Amino acid sequence: MVYTSDIEIQSKKRTEVINVTTFVEKKLEESRISDGIACLFSGHTSAAIYLGIDDKWVAEDFVDFTNSLVPNKPDLKHNIYGGKNADSHLKSILLGNSITLPITGSRVDLGSWQGIFFAEFSGPRERKINIKIIGE
Amino acid sequence: MVYTSDIEIQSKKRTEVINVTTFVEKKLEESRISDGIACLFSGHTSAAIYLGIDDKWVAEDFVDFTNSLVPNKPDLKHNIYGGKNADSHLKSILLGNSITLPITGSRVDLGSWQGIFFAEFSGPRERKINIKIIGE
Amino acid sequence: MVYTSDIEIQSKKRTEVINVTTFVEKKLEESRISDGIACLFSGHTSAAIYLGIDDKWVAEDFVDFTNSLVPNKPDLKHNIYGGKNADSHLKSILLGNSITLPITGSRVDLGSWQGIFFAEFSGPRERKINIKIIGE
């Protein structure tokens, strides 16, 4: 069985972390797949999807850390030649846009403190996560 | 066919790299799936799973590099507001907790020098890798 | 249905970004799978696979950024004890070697400006991406 859907997201800041765990869980319920894997994918090139602790301070540390690691320098080539958000594209590449999750007993096998997050690096924007679930 | 299992790990240091390739290969044998994909997932928020060279010096360079890239600063918000290991959570997000491997002819399609590693960023602890194999 | 193939790549520089999107799309067509997931995997330990914007300036920024983030210092242990490309192995671990893509209506669900890239960190070399597609 293959199930396809997507999750719509509205980000509100330039850099922002959005917990999408409950949306993924709703899609899983809708899929009626109890055993398999779920592929979460973002088709955006200035955002990312990641797994991490569901903790508001770590979310803020993450925003500060990524901004400090990849500052939006004016001398980045993408910025010199007409772009404005070279940092957003580099952060997106570094963090990644595709994660695969095991599904067992109709549940995502997340750890106790773990959540699924959408990282916006060039908001505010309307965004989407593609979800594909394969299994029985 | 869907196969589900997990691999138990005991880390011994705060930051440590553990080669889990042979454990994954044993699970694959047990699954009797010869063609498909294997999803390895860690439900921990202060650890990671990665693919890399099986070389003890690169493992040590990796520990030094991640500690230098994400030092456990006392002014990280997670540390200010009651946490102790903000760095571990950020390293976990950055390195990732989900990898997918192709299975062909009952073997993981790893490169000659490649291994599958569990990265502990907040040990010593008992840890677990979830493994889900889908295929024929 | 399970489809297996690989994509051959010839890199020309030490650090280089190669757009492999059209090669992946050709393999998908060949697979005749219209709905499912594709796992792209690299068995190399000094290269990576990533999703990002198809923009030559961001590709150049990416090369500069990774070289600046992980310089090939002579005092990296892998370099001290006989290796020459410790940086390449660390970059490979950081960027990752496995991505999973949703396939819908016989197409990869890529965003408008998104591409699939092979990142060479220790070229020039002959390289390969393993592709495994599962679905209906």
C90 interaction partners in chain B (CB closer than 8 Å): 58, 61-62, 65
For B50-109, write each residue's pLDDT tens digit. 999 999 999 999 999 999 999 999 999 999 999 999 999 999 999 999 999 999 999 999
- What percent of chain C shows pLDDT beyond 70? 100
Structural domains of chain A in order of their starting residue, each with its CATH number: 2-135 (2.60.120.460)
Interface-testing mutation among B37, B116, B117, with chain C (most C C-beta atoms within 10 A): B37
Nearest to C43 among B64, B99, B111 (CB): B111
Please give the pLDDT value at position B93.
Answer: 98
Among the listed residues A42, A80, B23, the one whose alpha carbon sits nearest the alpha carbon of residue C52: A42
Asked if C129 contacts C86 with a C-beta cutoff of 8 angstroms, the reply is no
Q: Using CA atoms, how far apart are residues C73 and B17, in angstroms rounded to an integer?
A: 21
For C7-25, write each residue's pLDDT tens digit. 999 999 999 999 999 999 9
Q: Using CA atoms, how far apart are residues B100 and B16, in angstroms rounded to an integer?
A: 22
Question: Residue A53, Cβ neighbours under 10 Å: how many?
Answer: 27
Helix axes C86-95, C56-69, angle to 10 degrees: 120
Phi, psi of B101 (to 5 degrees): -120, 140
Nearest to C104 among A4, A80, A100 (CB): A4
Angle at C44 between CA C42 and CA C47, to 5 degrees: 85
- Nearest-by-CA chain C residue for B93: C94
Q: How many residues does chain A have?
A: 136
- Residues in chain C where the model's pLDDT stays below 50: none
Please give the pLDDT value at position A115.
Answer: 98
Helix axes B86-95, A86-95, angle to 10 degrees: 90
A78 interaction partners in chain C (CB closer than 8 Å): 55, 57-58, 61
Please give the pLDDT value at position A55.
Answer: 97
Q: Using CA atoms, how far apart are residues B66 and A90, in angstroms rounded to an integer?
A: 18
Which subunits count as partners of chain B given 3+ CB pairs below 8 Å? A, C
Nearest to B45 among A94, A111, A134 (CB): A111
For A29-84, write each residue's pLDDT tens digit. 999 999 999 999 999 999 999 999 999 999 999 999 999 999 999 999 999 999 99
* SS3 per-residue string spanning chain C: CEEEEEEEEECCCCCEEEECHHHHHHHHHHHCCCCEEEEEECCCCCEEEEEEECCHHHHHHHHHHHHHHCCCCCCCHHHHCCCCCHHHHHHHHHHCCEEEEEEECCEECCCCCEEEEEEECCCCCEEEEEEEEEEC
B97 interaction partners in chain A (CB closer than 8 Å): 51, 114
Q: Extract the tokens encoding A112.
A: 């106790």
- Nearest-by-CA chain B residue for C128: B111
- Nearest-by-CA chain B residue for C47: B52
Q: Give chain A's mean pLDDT.
A: 98
CA A60 to chain centre: 15
